[in-house]
């Protein structure tokens, strides 16, 4: 029995959370894989109700669970996800970008993963004013850089793909900080002679994601660059609606859709839940690896193939030009599972 904590979030969060629960309940019923799901509050509504965007009770339940699923939250997102990343040392942000049928991808053969360092860089929020100037501290450490590089190479080893890692940085300008990151990645690459290793400046990478996205396999980069490039890679394959994400540490992981809370369509039952459901697939893979549970891998593959086949058949929710509601789309997934 796996204990799963589920932050239901804001906006469309509660709607797609119900989709996630329906899928997990179906897996409980049809496969020999059991989940206990605990719904939790965090985000704008939690802030209004309790005075905290991330209530103490929510933190306590998450820490006692095997993994966490998080629906999108609103304006208080930084007070939820950034805090959880640091508190639980979820140092690897994993963002797959893959072409799916009937989605406006640039090409149909794109299959990459962006591995983003999740704890350092400018996102530590160390900013201050000096007279009329504003200063931010950019912190890049050797330990964190080598740790994320190793994760990227291990990811490349496990993928049925090009077996290539691209280290993205800007060391020609930021010689000390990005120089350290680039050297750490180069040093780690020597332990993986079977993996092709290359370096690329971040501006060139941004261009090549448009020009030849099919050439990328695993991209490893710093926090800020990874934040930007992962959104770009999602758009290259058709948008955030099919974009899952994982925040992974050595002993815990949190999985979430990439898109926001979409308040403009909240409550209309038209939101595409695919990104959240694909995040569940990533959770299965992580649980399978952590607990040596082949059933998790099997169910994860089944879930992804079910979503793939459904969108291949032309079925879409209303928010992306289809005619199905969120609940109707979810029922199709459940029935096909």
Examine residue 15 and state whether it is found in any structural domain, yes or no.
yes
Whether 69 and 120 map to the same domain: the answer is: no
Given 91, 100, 123, 151, which residue is catalytic? Answer: 123
Token reading at 248:
């992974």
Q: Among 188, 204, 236, where does a domain finish?
A: 236
Examine residue 279 and state whether it is found in any structural domain, yes or no.
yes
Given 89, 111, 231, 309, which residue is catalytic? Answer: 231
Dist. CA 223–CA 168, nearest whole Å:
11
C-alpha distances (whole Å) from 137 to each of 30, 44, 119, 140, 184 are 51, 29, 13, 10, 20
Q: pLDDT per residue over 263-315, tens digit each?
A: 999 999 999 999 999 999 999 999 999 999 999 999 999 999 999 999 999 99
Whether 226 and 307 map to the same domain: the answer is: no
User: What CATH number is attached to the domain comprising 209?
Assistant: 3.40.718.10
Catalytic residue status for 309: no
Segment (H or E) for 16 = helix 13-30
Cα torsion angle, 257, 262, 267, 270, sign: negative
Q: Among 236, 255, 282, where does a domain finish?
A: 236
Catalytic residue status for 123: yes
What is the total count of domains within the chain? 2
Percentage of the chain modeled with pLDDT above 90: 91
Examine residue 98 and state whether it is found in any structural domain, yes or no.
no
Q: Among 208, 236, 264, where does a domain finish?
A: 236
Whether 114 and 88 map to the same domain: the answer is: no
Catalytic residue status for 217: no
Examine residue 100 and state whether it is found in any structural domain, yes or no.
no
Whether 52 and 131 map to the same domain: the answer is: no
Whether 146 and 212 map to the same domain: the answer is: yes
Whether 200 and 260 map to the same domain: the answer is: no
Q: What is the pLDDT of residue 69?
A: 98
Whether 78 and 118 map to the same domain: the answer is: no
Whether 74 and 36 map to the same domain: the answer is: yes
Catalytic residue status for 170: yes
User: 201: which strand partners?
Assistant: 169
- Global confidence as pTM: 0.94
Buried b (16+ CB within 10 A) or exposed e, 7-39: bbbbbbbbbbbbbbbbbbebbeeeeebebebeb
Given 49, 109, 187, 203, which residue is catalytic? Answer: 203
Examine residue 224 and state whether it is found in any structural domain, yes or no.
yes
Tell me which residue range forms the domain holding 294: 1-92+244-337
Helix 177-189 vs helix 142-158: angle between axes, to the nearest 10 degrees? 40
* Distance, C-alpha 174 to centroid of its chain: 27
Examine residue 300 and state whether it is found in any structural domain, yes or no.
yes
Q: What is the pLDDT of residue 172?
A: 97
Tell me the residue ranges of DSSP E strands in the chain.
2-7, 35-40, 67-70, 92-98, 111-117, 127-130, 133-136, 164-169, 196-201, 218-221, 244-248, 253-257
Whether 121 and 216 map to the same domain: the answer is: yes
Phi/psi for 244 (5° steps) reads: -90, 170
Examine residue 97 and state whether it is found in any structural domain, yes or no.
no
Cα pseudo-dihedral 149, 155, 158, 160, rounded to 10: -120
Tell me the residue ranges of DSSP E strands in 143-185.
164-169
Examine residue 231 and state whether it is found in any structural domain, yes or no.
yes
Whether 226 and 311 map to the same domain: the answer is: no
Q: pLDDT per residue over 21-69, tens digit each?
A: 999 999 999 998 899 999 999 999 999 999 999 999 999 999 999 999 9
Whether 192 and 257 map to the same domain: the answer is: no
Catalytic residue status for 231: yes
Q: What is the pLDDT of residue 211?
A: 97
Averaged pLDDT for residues 240-246: 92
Phi/psi for 127 (5° steps) reads: -125, 150
Given 170, 281, 316, 318, which residue is catalytic? Answer: 170
Which is nearest to 220 in space by CA: 146, 170, 166, 143? 166
Whether 207 and 281 map to the same domain: the answer is: no
* pLDDT over 90 (residue 317): yes
Dist. CA 220–CA 211, nearest whole Å:
19
Given 10, 121, 178, 227, which residue is catalytic? Answer: 227
Q: What is the pLDDT of residue 124?
A: 86
């Amino acid at each position: 029995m796996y204990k799963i904590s589920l932050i239901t979030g804001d906006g469309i969060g509660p709607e797609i959370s119900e989709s996630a629960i329906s899928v997990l309940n179906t897996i409980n019923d049809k496969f020999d894989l059991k989940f206990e799901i605990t719904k939790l509050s965090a985000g704008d509504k939690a802030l209004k109700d309790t005075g905290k965007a991330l209530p103490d009770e929510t933190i306590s339940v998450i820490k006692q669970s095997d993994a966490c699923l998080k629906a999108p939250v609103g304006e208080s997102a930084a007070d939820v996800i950034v805090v959880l990343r640091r508190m639980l040392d979820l140092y690897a942000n994993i963002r797959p970008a893959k072409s799916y049928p009937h989605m406006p991808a640039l090409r149909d053969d794109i299959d990459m993963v962006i591995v983003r360092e999740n704890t350092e860089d400018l996102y530590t929020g160390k900013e201050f004013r000096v007279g009329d100037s504003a200063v931010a501290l950019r912190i890049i450490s050797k330990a964190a850089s080598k740790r994320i590089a190793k994760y990227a190479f291990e990811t490349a080893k496990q993928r049925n793909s090009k077996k290539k890692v691209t280290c993205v940085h800007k060391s020609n300008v930021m010689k000390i900080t990005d120089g350290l990151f680039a050297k750490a990645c180069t040093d780690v690459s020597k332990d993986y002679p079977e993996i092709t290793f290359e370096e690329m400046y971040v501006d060139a990478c941004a261009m090549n994601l448009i020009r030849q996205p099919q050439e990328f396999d695993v991209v490893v980069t710093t926090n800020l660059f990874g934040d930007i490039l992962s959104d770009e890679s999602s758009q290259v394959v058709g948008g955030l609606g099919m974009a899952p994400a994982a925040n992974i540490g050595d002993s815990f992981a949190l999985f979430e859709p990439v898109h926001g809370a979409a308040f403009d369509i909240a409550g209309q039952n038209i939101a595409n839940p695919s990104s959240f459901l694909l995040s569940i697939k990533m959770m299965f893979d992580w649980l399978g690896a952590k607990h040596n549970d082949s059933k998790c891998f099997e169910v994860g593959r089944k879930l992804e193939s079910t979503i793939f086949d459904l969108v291949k058949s032309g079925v879409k929710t209303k928010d992306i030009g289809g005619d199905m509601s969120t609940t109707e789309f979810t029922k199709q997934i459940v029935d096909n599972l």
